[in-house]
Homo-oligomer: A and B are copies of this chain.
Amino acid sequence: MADEIVSHTSLSPIGFLRRTAEVYPDKVAVVDGDRRWTYREFAERVRRAAGALRAAGVRPGDRVAYLCPNVPALLEAHFAVPLAGAVLVAINIRLSPREIAYILDHSGAKVLVADTELAAPLAPLRAARRALATVIHVRETAAPDPFAGEEYESVIARAAPADLHEMPAEERALLSINYTSGTTGSPKGVMYTHRGAYLNALGLCLEVGLGFDATYLWTLPMFHCNGWCFPWAVTAVGGTHLCLRKVEAPVVFDMIEEHAVSHLCAAPTVLIGLAQDPRAAALRLSRPLTIATGGAPPAPQVIRNVEAFGARLVHLYGLTETYGPHTFCERQPRWDGESEEGRARLKARQGVAGITALDVRVVDEQMRDVPRDGETLGEIVMRGNNVMAGYYDDPGATASAFRGGWFHSGDIAVMHPDGYIEIRDRKKDVIISGGENISTVEVEQVLYQHPAVMEVAVVGVPDEKWGEVPKAFVTLKPGAAASPEQIIDFCRERIAHFKCPKAIAFGELPKTSTGKIQKFVLREREWQGREKKVN
């Protein structure tokens, strides 16, 4: 039908690159060290990468895995793999070889593009990966190629460029699979579609204020929820991507100043690290800097610290299953009248559904909305165009996550009277002490107010009388000192005594590759040899 053709174009992020390369061919698309590519050049590299994948035998629907830090090849993959009609599997580079092998097998990836610095431990595993036909290596460092593979740059140099007009006929076609770093059981493959990525990217542009002149610093791993869809969003507006192999505070501050960075994303724990760096106080911003944070609830103190060095903070919340950001803590005009502390507390809430996300609720076990009282705990559930299409090859897990027609986040939250949600805990982190629920996040937020505390994690530990009680693991600020008793007293002055930690341990906190604190590691250590707390 004529009007079908004329009035309907599949929503796909490929279209963003096509348009931007046409409209802004001479704008700088990518900066990586001394290398710079305009959008014309970036599009050409993407087209050649897609052509190279096809030449390597990749057919529509095939999976292509990448094991890379935030280098240009992985940014290009976000367009090149779908342009080849294939499905991008960007693997977390901090995973163990065994976990990587699992993901390669489960996804059935036909091609792997791996950074030479990361690839060595995989060499012994390769032979057993039967689906894996080709390994291409990305050599950005002195690390040699452990495989007898070809190098990415030479592969794309001789490839026939694909045509950016080759959009998927069906916008709900699979675009990528993002494996969750599940703390229990095997990783699950979260499926993203072209439509979902397109809409979430557009919504992001509006929510964080990405415009034509955006300069985006890649502090968030691209392997994490496809970089919260920022590869597509920044490209949609014709902004500049600044690649960053490794996040180190001095380098981040250098780049912010040198390139006049307008936007970056980071988990709260990364922001804590930045705020602690001596450079933070001396930072000179030549233009407004927006920092989007999420992945864990930021304590109000973290928000104040970031604002202290002049950045505007956008607090967002989501999961791998929601293409990253689903809610945003939208600013309200009436907050201007609040104290600095009051505002920080309001901004620490996870907020409301984004423009293109639309639907989020906090519900009880019977899927009834909890009252908007800021007190009653319930589970956050979502649905809409930026909820995943399901778990790859796992109908059981999909059905379980989607029970009742909504995606179940596993996050426990309250709904405030103004419709803002606030996370109280991961479902499995809630402490049940003498029959009372204790939100570990609430306890942590009190501990963050202590002047000596830099970072903290609270978990439940075994207790003969109460079943379990809170214990705090604390990293002190450099040079600061505090005794366990002082910290416990500090808490008891501020919250109910039963919520206060009964013990304090000092030291480094275990973290995931994306900077999330791994409470389960702390918990497992405490519960070893005991009857395991049910999770």
* Interface residues, chain A, with chain B CB atoms under 8 Å away: 2-3, 5-9, 11, 15-16, 18-19, 22-24, 26-27, 172, 193, 196, 199, 202-203, 205-206, 209, 211-212, 236-237, 330-334, 352-353, 355-356, 358-359, 383-385, 387-390, 398-399, 402-403, 405-407, 419
Contact = CB atoms under 8 A, between A and B. Distances in A.
Contacts of A407: 6
A6 B385 contact: no
A212 B330 contact: yes
Given A7-B387, A385-B9, A15 B406 contact: no
A392 B23 CA distance: 34
Copy total for this chain: 2
B23 A419 contact: yes
A8 B405 CA distance: 11
27 contacts: A2-B405, A5-B402, A6-B405, A6-B406, A7-B196, A7-B384, A7-B387, A7-B389, A8-B385, A9-B358, A9-B383, A9-B384, A9-B385, A11-B199, A11-B385, A16-B355, A22-B352, A23-B330, A23-B352, A23-B419, A202-B202, A202-B203, A202-B355, A205-B206, A206-B236, A212-B330, A212-B331
Contacts of A358: 9, 15, 18-19
Nearest to A22: B419
A367 to B, nearest CB: 13
A401 to B, nearest CB: 9
Contacts of A353: 19
A6 B355 contact: no
Contact of A2 (B3, B333, B398): B398
With most chain B CB atoms within 10 A of its CB, the pick from A23, A237, A402 is A23
A7 B330 contact: no
Contacts of A236: 206, 355
A172 B4 CA distance: 10
A265 to B, nearest CB: 19
Nearest to A408: B6
Contacts of A8: 172, 384-385
A399 B8 CA distance: 16
A19 to B, nearest CB: 6
B212 A3 contact: no
A295 B348 CA distance: 46
Nearest to A26: B334
A9 B2 CA distance: 26
Contacts of A352: 19, 22-23
A459 B143 CA distance: 71
A17 to B, nearest CB: 11
Contacts of A16: 355
With most chain B CB atoms within 10 A of its CB, the pick from A332, A334, A355 is A355
Nearest to A405: B5
Given A16-B355, A211-B209, A330-B23, A387 B196 contact: no
A3 B387 CA distance: 9
A33 to B, nearest CB: 23
A5 B383 contact: yes
Nearest to A355: B236
B383 A7 contact: yes
B359 A9 contact: yes
With most chain B CB atoms within 10 A of its CB, the pick from A3, A6, A203 is A6
Contact of A24 (B24, B332, B359): B332
Contacts of A237: 206, 355
A312 to B, nearest CB: 13
Contacts of A406: 6
Contacts of A202: 202-203, 206, 355-356
Given A22-B419, A358-B15, A402 B206 contact: no
A514 B18 CA distance: 34
Nearest to A351: B23
Contacts of A333: 27
Can you list the 9 inter-chain pairs with the closest CB atoms, starting with the nearest?
Answer: A9-B384, A2-B402, A6-B383, A5-B405, A3-B390, A23-B352, A7-B387, A6-B402, A7-B389
B398 A3 contact: yes
A356 B2 CA distance: 20
Contacts of A209: 211
Contacts of A356: 202
Contacts of A199: 11
Contact of A19 (B205, B355, B385): B355
A387 B19 contact: no
